[in-house]
Amino acid sequence: MSILGSTVFAYRLGNAVLSIISLICMYFMLNKMFKTKYALIGMFILAISPWNILLSRWALDANPLPSLIIIATTILIYAIDKKSTGLYVLAASIYSLALYAYASAYIIVPLFLLFSISYLLVKKKITVKQVVISGIVFVLIAIPLGTFWIINFFDLEEIKKIIATAMCLITLCTFTTSVLANGTSDYPF
């Protein structure tokens, strides 16, 4: 934000760029699976969809999730076609970043990947080595998020190191110390 300042434009820019990239990825994904005519129709429907327009204009932290899923799935489809470990790793990286967008991704992304990887292994479209390498990258990117939730769920102390900090969620810490610790709430509601 320091480059663009704390403006409405700066806050909305990320979602707008992701939405444009997801439109392009939608075209390439559908073009790979069907014909060009259907890819253009699918991209057009996504472009005029009120849902997608709202996601691209509204600066909400959950809005990148659909775009990230579309982008990662497109890369996964190309990875399957080219049998490219690099593309599998890139797809795993973006799926892992999607976990940071919205809590429903904690369930949706791992289940989707579990079923997809199982299918791809049975059909011999991916090797065990590619799964392991992609899985390691996925986990490495997700470690800070997992650490954050473990610290908050078990009410552990914050981890403060030179290269990384895992913090306690302020509202959760306040709630647990003010309501659960002494049985009374400091809040009027």
Question: What pLDDT digit, counting tens, does each position of 34-68 carry?
Answer: 989 999 999 999 999 998 988 888 878 889 999 99
Is the confidence at residue 175, as pLDDT, over 90? no
* Contacts with 125 (C-beta within 8 Å, 6 or more apart), sequence order: 80, 83
Q: What is the mean pLDDT of the chain?
A: 87
Q: What is the pLDDT of residue 169?
A: 63
Average pLDDT over residues 74-87: 97
Alpha carbons 21 and 23: distance in angstroms, whole number: 5
Is the confidence at residue 130, as pLDDT, over 90? yes
Poorest-pLDDT segment among 17-21, 99-103, 181-185: 181-185
Q: What is the pLDDT of residue 158?
A: 83
How much is the pTM? 0.82
Average pLDDT over residues 17-22: 95
Paired residues of 160 in beta bridges: 165
Local confidence band at 181 (pLDDT 50, 70, 90 cut-offs): very low
Beta-strand ranges (E) seen in the chain are 159-160, 165-166
Give which of 151, 65, 77 is closest to 104, Cα–Cα: 65
* Contacts with 167 (C-beta within 8 Å, 6 or more apart), sequence order: 148, 151, 158
Place of tokens 């552990």: 156
Average pLDDT over residues 126-136: 98
